Structure 1
Amino acid sequence: MRKVLITILLIAVSNVLFAQNQFSGTVKNQDTGEPVFSASVYFPKLEKGTTTDESGHFTIKNLPSGNYKLVISSIGFTSYSKEVTIPTTNIELVLKPSAVEMEEVIVSTPFHQLQSENVMRVERESVSELNKKGAVTLADGISQIPGVENLSTGIGIGKPVIRGLSSNRVLTYTQGVRMENQQFGGEHGLGISSKGIGSVEVIKGPASLLYGSDAIGGVLYLNPEQYAAVGQTNAEFNGDYFSNTLGYQASAMAKTSGENLKFIARGSLAEHSDYKTGNGTRVTNTRFNEKDLKTGIAYQNEKFRSDLRYNFNRSELGIPEEITAQTTSKTLVLPYQQIDNHILSLDNTIYFANSSLNAKFGYQFNNRKEFEDHHDHEEEHGEEHDDHAEEEDHDHEEEHSEEGEELHPALDMELETFNYNIKYNLPKLGKFETIAGIQGMWQDNKNTGEEILIPDAKTVDFGVFATTHLHLKVWNFQAGLRYDTRNVDSETHGEEGETGYMQAVDRSFNSINGAFGAKYQISKNLNARLNLASGFRAPNLAELTSNGAHHGANRYEVGNPELDNEQNFQVDLSLEWRNEHFEAFANAFHNTINDYIYLAPTGERINDDPVYDYVQDDAKLYGGEVGIHIHPHPWDWMHIESSFETVTGKRDDDTYLPLIPANSITNTFRVEFNKGKIIENKYAFIRLKNVFDKENTSTFETRTGGYSLLGAGFGGRIKLNDSEVQVSVNGNNLFDKDYIAHLSRLKTDGIANIGRNIMLSLQWFL
């Protein structure tokens, strides 16, 4: 018995001693030897870090023993990483001054490295920087990243287009889990607020190795807002006003962190009137509102980390049909959508000696409702209405919607999704880092409304993968292989032979995909990346089963239950030159897609709607982005940036693909001053975006004329005792240009995009 007690005591003592592992040291300026205040010292694999104090000192407690990569970064210095062994104490780290923007750790790729060390090029932008450019919504903001555009219906509804691919070909990840909210619909937006999102990462190209089906076009990875630093409690209040829509958004956040336990909560709301075009016309029923709640609680010790996050978002979005009444009212009228999205995620990591096991689980419930004019619903079911009765019904429904009386949705879809992603980071074998894992999804789609776009169905995904990274002095290699299977089992809807009949589908799809990448440091300042990757996408429910009018698109769509997988292969080449005062990059890609699925007009009409069939053909997309960034010495406060992006998409018969963005070039001149007696972090910019004529269109698109949009803004941060206030004013389309973007879904109705918009923002940090 005594031996047992001694053994238990030794285990307890060893745990206590193990928990005392800490890493401490100082960070200094390489040129002057002075301490660097507020530098970030971070272990990406452990997801744990801190910042330096005024003497440049830091301490991180409760660390597991082993070898881990450490990343050190600070504004005005070049970020760098190094391997350290825990336990280690009193280490001295140095940072080299630089006018180049601070590098951050890339989270969307498996090995969590700085972008300069990454084999795959990933675009990263903080949401605060996107907001400085006057973005109205998150979808609007990410379109300012080179190679990314926005497929929009007004300003409230937008979805990302990465190098010409969108909808189910681009995955969106938030809180570490794939977002599922009926992406198949062209008028179905992101459904997530920018408030509470810390940064955006964009993988441009096939990412099936990491994420499975539906990632053949790329991944939009949304990193949630970080918890407070250990021992700190922070709060934030902010508000934005938009002159064009007479709209506002407001948000409040509080977060606190102890040594082990952390908590964060943020509530946001937004409301906008119909937007106004450059010619002064308000586009009827483009008004929208949004309510959003994000909260999280995390626990971490030397062996284990767990992060539980929850996001609820309710968006109510008007569906524009034609320009009629001119009003600045924010009250919803028919037709409109109401989307409720619940996302619950749990991210667990167990740390072993030089290895770790990560398990992410996600549960989502998406409820999409559409409220329509009563007479439209009656006509769809073949019931007779005279003109006078239709007008009365329409007025009556609008009155009910304005008075807030209960309406019954014509369309009511419920999508329930469970995701899991389990990865094991194996111990390093020499210079090899390896990760193996499994991913899966279970999904159930139900309809409770009278209208049906897609039938009730169940979808089950399963994938297994492995990827490895080899780090050498001037070479970095990364390779991986993955197998996926997807089963789609839908129910019959309607009666065979009748309009709207959807036959049951029970199909299984599978694919083996791989990726290989290499990064070569040609010289101190020049590096090259080459990535080869394949990907696949199983056809979605709309493509397999559709048989009915799609009012949002003004057409009758007919699915094809015999559709095959889309399978693609992309070659991506990237060159980057960087020194202290000049940066340049050039990206080129070629993407071949076998069995590309698209809608083609048949020439027939059903109930005055043109009929479109889902068909397949081989396709190819190619293009790229080039850019420069100049910040000349000794005027390090001055920045001159220019970027050009182009993409071309063709079918096998050499005709052009639809919804391919026009070529564009963006030039920006900005100044930044980090220090000041009263106002710090001052900035000002002026930006000119030139969009070229879009002549190469598909057979059922029309050309789009080019246009130029001028934007400008300024801002700064004011210290008030123990708090700070960030003030910014940003304007877009300052010349009030009347224009139509090629990727606007209102283009077919000749409705222009948003005119001049001035955004005033205030943020109060406590």
Structure 2
Amino acid sequence: MKALLLFLLLLPTLLRGQTGTLTGAIHDAKHSAVPFASVAIVGTGLGATADAAGRFRLPNVPAGTLRLHLSAVGYTAAERDTTLAEGQTLNLQLLLTGEPAVLNEVVVTGVSRATEIRRSPVPIATLARREINLNANTNVIDAAVRGIPGLSAVTTGPNVSKPFIRGLGYNRVLTLYNGLRQEGQQWGDEHGVEIDGYDIERVEVVKGPASLLYGSDAVAGVVNLLPGLPSGPEGQLGGEALTEYQSNNGLIGNSLGLNYQKNGFQTSFRTSHRLARDYRNRVDGLVYNTGFREFNLTGMAGVVKPWGSSHWYLTLYDNQQEIPDGSRDSLSRAFTRQVAESELDDIKNRPRVGRGELKSYAIAPLHQSIRHYRIFTKTQMQLGSGQLNLLLGAQQNRRREFNHPTAPAQPGLALDLTTYTYDVRYHLPAWQGLEMSVGSNGMAQVNRHQDATDFPIPDYNLLDAGTFLLIKKPLGKLELSGGLRYDTRLVTWDDFYVAPNPRTGFEGAAGPRTADAELQFPAFQRRYQGVSASLGASYVATEQLTLRANLARGYRAPNIPEIGSNGLDPGAHIVYLGNRSFQPEFSWQQDVGMLWHQPTLDASVEVFHNYVENFIYQARLLDAVGQPVVIVPGNTTYQFQQAAARLYGIEASLNVRPAALPWLALSSSMALVNGQNEDAKLVENQGNAARYLPLIPPLRARAEARATLPARAGRLTGTYFRASLDGSARQNRFYALDNTETATPGYALLGLGAGTTFRTRAGREAVQLFLQVDNVLDVAYQSHLNRLKYFEYYEGSPNGRSGIYNPGRNVSAKVVVPF
């Protein structure tokens, strides 16, 4: 590692390149200037912001073939290829058109090199910062779910959302922050994504096996959360200030971002804070213990030179997240709170929560405390006619769950996860149109319990590494791509004992010779390995129509809870039991898609089929007479199972921009996935109750109409009005064995929004205003993937409603001040 870092730091001084300058102007279809548009060179950190007349200048640009990325508020992002000679000053006239149209966008996630969405055989979707700002979100995953068909989330309250892609989640979906894999105990139901949503400029989602580039844990796809790079005028401090308020849970959010660049040096800094109390709905009123307090710091420093670029990132995420348990008074349905431990805790006689506590912003004694530290570097450099990309990172996740009412300072769960990550890729020079990339990536992990009383998983060590080869070959209108990868993972842990701790009065980690010590996790060592492969093609049948297909084999090693669990996860209120004999999962997925693009219409249809060998899922543990096993009172017991599974479905979208009404944009999308258990013996014995997989989202559709006023001279620009309808069908295909899941009624949610941008007299953006009302009609509903739906202590209730409902009407206002 030290040698690699030394090589990284010294190599730039040994390399030299030739440069030129790009200048020009950006106009729209009516030949009017597009003020303050952004111009960036794809695959580098170079960028600039145009002035009020649409003019820009980019000095010190490496000579050669370049791809420019253009973007501006109210316009569709566009790409333009150009060639810059050594010492040349090239003047360009660039064009932007009204939004939305995304099929020509360039992506970097899940592909070896920057690729147009329509030319990628694997379905890839994107969401830009502008679309994120339009909505009222409690976290960045919720923002992505609203805008990307096929992406859903399992939620535990408003600030814990775990991404699912086409019915698969947890360690099957790899979350990245700017290319660095996010490692933060993501196996847990109540463990969210430790990333500042205000910092994200763009979201890219790979829908399908991405194991080829990223290895295990990307078998269902990838969610890459990308921050922006400085793009303002050289030598000037720029940035933005943001503030927002949401009425449903009183959320108050503030963020300040700063950036600066000059002579190839770039730096940025952001600090964000969000505070929320308990959320509200029409059935439950204020839902006890769903508030949170979140603080983020992000810093970046880097250089962009003719030899390439290198950027260093340092982030801190600090979140105090309350833990709901759903206990109530049986008659009034008022929420109650725990005041005693274990056997002394009488759920039916807990005291009611006062209204003052429900409306307070103070964090309750029973809560999670999560701190996540991250440092990493991304370097890109030219080596001859090829290109080397290198990522090195280290991160630590410190998770504490305080679940003892009689000892609120004593954490029940206390885990420190430290992860070291590397990713190195070399893009060989193109040869007769053939593009080849080779690389390797992996990680080393150490997970350790600290001063805890609950131990759901063992202390473990993990080593993971993989190598890959990717090939892409254009053949006229046909483009072929594919690759091969080999992965290996070594998992080990030593004997782990627990015993009563006289100091705390609870159980604690102990040595083997401690009095009354019990061996909770016997020593374990095993190596997992697998081969991933992919072969796909895209065909530009006409200027409007693109066809694509892909066949992929994915690989995933079992995660630690699946093989090693033996204890209570206090935040989830579940005792998990693992299986040390589990085999890796292997999936065979086929994707077929059709994309249509023209100035007034975009349409897409994607069909997929995924067969998973050795699929791992959770099931309630029953005794010999079929009754649920209770190991810890007040908590359910689940044991991991393994069987074959099949998932298949369809996704479609349609965007219309009527030529006769250029100010109007209509968009709609739908996604359907069906997941079935292929264990014939289990289905034969249990019938339909065991036929379907758990946590499969229902049919979901979304439609939106947006009117954007034409640009005119004056102080207002980009003024829009929008109405949306987000609907979910009834979910009758659910995992009903042992009453693990129940049917979920369908619902439709109406949303209304409006916004505008105020300009200064000089034409520069001064203030952006976003107003949004979600669930306008205050519909009482439960999402099928809402875990709080199952937080119920009684078989029946006076009002006929069980579990906790999703948030009701929410009015939000967001103000962004760029400078």
Superposition TM-score, scaled by structure 1 size: 0.90
Q: How does 1:574-613 map to 2 (within 5 A)?
A: 574-604=593-623, 605=629, 606-608=631-633, 609-613=635-639
SS at match of 2:107: coil
Match of 1:741 in 2: 783
472-481 or 171-180: bigger deviation? 472-481
Within the candidate set 807, 811, 815, 1:758 is matched to 811
Match for 1:446: what amino acid? R
Within the candidate set 294, 297, 303, 2:298 is matched to 294
Match of 2:286 in 1: 282
Match for 2:19: what amino acid? N
Q: Hey, what's the Cα distance between the residues in 1 that align with 2:700 and 2:400? A: 36
2:22–2:58 contact (8 Å) kept in structure 1 = yes
Match of 1:330 in 2: 361
Q: Hey, what's the Cα distance between the residues in 2 that align with 1:342 and 1:631? A: 44
Q: How does 1:6-17 map to 2 (within 5 A)?
A: none
Q: Report the count of equivalent residues.
A: 723
Assess, with a 3 A threshold, how the Cα gap between structure 1 residues 96 and 440 changes in structure 2: closer, same or farther. Answer: closer
Match for 1:702: what amino acid? T
How far 1:331 moved relative to its partner?
Answer: 1.0
Within the candidate set 458, 470, 473, 2:473 is matched to 470
How far 1:96 moved relative to its partner?
Answer: 6.8
Q: Does 1:566 align with 2:602?
A: no
Cα-to-partner distance string for 1:373-412 (whole Å, 9 max, x where unaligned): 24xxxxxxxxxxxxxxxxxx3xxx5xxx6xxxxx131211
Within the candidate set 11, 22, 26, 2:20 is matched to 22
1:153–1:187 contact (8 Å) kept in structure 2 = yes
Match for 2:600: what amino acid? H
274-283 or 484-493: bigger deviation? 274-283
Q: Hey, what's the Cα distance between the residues in 2 that align with 1:477 and 1:81? A: 22
SS at match of 2:197: coil
Aligned-residue Cα RMSD (Å) equals 2.4
Assess, with a 3 A threshold, how the Cα gap between structure 1 residues 456 and 520 changes in structure 2: closer, same or farther. Answer: same
Assess, with a 3 A threshold, how the Cα gap between structure 1 residues 730 and 499 changes in structure 2: closer, same or farther. Answer: farther
Match of 1:503 in 2: 522
Assess, with a 3 A threshold, how the Cα gap between structure 1 residues 338 and 610 changes in structure 2: closer, same or farther. Answer: closer
1:26–1:35 contact (8 Å) kept in structure 2 = no
Q: Hey, what's the Cα distance between the residues in 2 that align with 1:734 and 1:32? A: 38
2:18–2:62 contact (8 Å) kept in structure 1 = no
Within the candidate set 8, 20, 42, 1:44 is matched to 42
SS at match of 1:543: helix
SS at match of 1:476: strand
Superposition TM-score, scaled by structure 2 size: 0.84
Cα-to-partner distance string for 1:505-532 (whole Å, 9 max, x where unaligned): 1010111111112111111111111111
1:44–1:113 contact (8 Å) kept in structure 2 = no
Match of 2:106 in 1: 105
Cα-to-partner distance string for 1:107-152 (whole Å, 9 max, x where unaligned): 2132113323434331100233123122222122121121111111
Match of 1:357 in 2: 388
Q: Hey, what's the Cα distance between the residues in 2 that align with 1:697 and 1:715? A: 40
2:401–2:570 contact (8 Å) kept in structure 1 = no
How far 1:339 moved relative to its partner?
Answer: 0.3
SS at match of 2:281: coil
Match of 2:376 in 1: 345
Match of 2:699 in 1: 663
Q: Does 1:252 align with 2:256?
A: yes
Match of 2:144 in 1: 142
Within the candidate set 178, 181, 205, 1:178 is matched to 181
Match for 1:675: what amino acid? A
SS at match of 1:63: strand
Match of 2:321 in 1: 317
Match for 2:431: what amino acid? L
Q: Hey, what's the Cα distance between the residues in 2 that align with 1:414 and 1:86? A: 52
Q: Does 1:196 align with 2:231?
A: no
Q: Hey, what's the Cα distance between the residues in 1 that align with 2:765 and 2:130? A: 18
Assess, with a 3 A threshold, how the Cα gap between structure 1 residues 275 and 649 changes in structure 2: closer, same or farther. Answer: same
1:499–1:547 contact (8 Å) kept in structure 2 = no
Q: How does 1:74-473 map to 2 (within 5 A)?
A: 76=75, 79-82=78-81, 84-87=83-86, 88-95=88-95, 97=97, 99-101=99-101, 104-108=105-109, 109-144=111-146, 145-231=148-234, 232-279=236-283, 281-322=285-326, 323-324=335-336, 325=353, 326=355, 327-374=358-405, 393=406, 407-448=409-450, 449-473=452-476
Unaligned runs of 5+ in 1: 1-14, 375-392, 402-406
Q: Hey, what's the Cα distance between the residues in 2 that align with 1:737 and 1:60? A: 51
1:311–1:343 contact (8 Å) kept in structure 2 = yes
Q: Hey, what's the Cα distance between the residues in 1 that align with 2:239 and 2:44? A: 25
Match of 1:719 in 2: 759
Assess, with a 3 A threshold, how the Cα gap between structure 1 residues 26 and 16 changes in structure 2: closer, same or farther. Answer: farther
Q: Hey, what's the Cα distance between the residues in 1 that align with 2:49 and 2:295? A: 33
Q: Hey, what's the Cα distance between the residues in 1 that align with 2:559 and 2:472? A: 33
Match for 1:196: what amino acid? D
How far 1:34 moved relative to its partner?
Answer: 6.5
How far 1:29 moved relative to its partner?
Answer: 5.3
1:66–1:354 contact (8 Å) kept in structure 2 = no
Identity %: 29
Q: Hey, what's the Cα distance between the residues in 2 that align with 1:557 and 1:364? A: 26
1:99–1:636 contact (8 Å) kept in structure 2 = no
Cα-to-partner distance string for 1:220-261 (whole Å, 9 max, x where unaligned): 100012213350421311111010111201111111110211
Match for 1:21: what amino acid? T
2:718–2:756 contact (8 Å) kept in structure 1 = yes
Q: Does 1:705 align with 2:745?
A: yes
Match of 1:695 in 2: 732
Assess, with a 3 A threshold, how the Cα gap between structure 1 residues 352 and 586 changes in structure 2: closer, same or farther. Answer: same
99-108 or 181-190: bigger deviation? 99-108
Q: Hey, what's the Cα distance between the residues in 1 that align with 2:70 and 2:621? A: 59
